[in-house]
């Protein structure tokens, strides 16, 4: 980042329908809710607890240090969060952001997107 010495990185994996539109999943059976479909849930009431968007990972850049010896897997690193290592403006820092495992069924034509952003909502999306 050119202006700040720290930032929070977000990664989300989202399932897309055949037309490339992001999907949401209602965590409750519709018969137990006051709505009949996700489209009826007002935007202000859409929260990750009732409408998860996908598998998410979050990491503060100043806490990117990890301890491989305490990691459960080389691809799932342990971040001790004992100290802050501020990032010099303009410095490129590799973030090993853990993303929770997920299981998704895909029908023909459906896909997944990877969205990477910071707290300022600068977003990069890749379709897979």
Number of Cβ within 10 Å of residue 8's Cβ equals 15
Domain-wise residue ranges, the chain: 8-127
Residue 115's beta-bridge partner residues?
A: 12, 125
Nearest 5°: the CA angle 111, 117, 120 is: 145
What homologous superfamily is domain 8-127 in, according to CATH?
A: Galactose-binding domain-like (2.60.120.260)
Q: According to the model, what pLDDT value does residue 125 have?
A: 60
Average per-residue pLDDT for the chain: 83
Q: Bigger pLDDT: 106 or 127?
A: 106
125 — phi, psi (to 5°)? -120, 135
What is the average per-residue pLDDT within 121-128?
A: 62
- For residues 115-120, average pLDDT: 80
Rounded to two decimals, the pTM is: 0.72
Which percentage of the chain shows pLDDT scores above 90?
A: 16
> Above 90 in pLDDT, residue 19?
yes
Whose tokens are 């990185």? That residue is 9
Provide the greatest CA pair distance for the chain: 52
């Amino acid at each position: 980042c050119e202006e700040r010495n720290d930032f929070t990185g977000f990664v989300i994996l989202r399932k897309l329908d055949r037309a490339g539109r992001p999907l949401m999943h209602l965590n409750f059976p519709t018969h137990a809710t006051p709505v009949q479909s996700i489209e009826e849930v007002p935007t202000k009431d859409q929260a990750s607890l009732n409408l998860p968007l996908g598998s998410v990972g979050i990491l503060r850049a100043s806490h990117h240090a990890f301890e491989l010896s305490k990691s459960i897997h080389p691809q799932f690193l342990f971040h001790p969060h004992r100290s802050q290592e501020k990032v010099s403006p303009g410095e490129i820092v590799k973030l090993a952001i853990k993303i929770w495992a997920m299981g998704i069924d895909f029908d023909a034509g459906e896909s997944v997107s990877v969205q990477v952003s910071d707290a300022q909502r600068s977003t990069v999306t890749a379709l897979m």
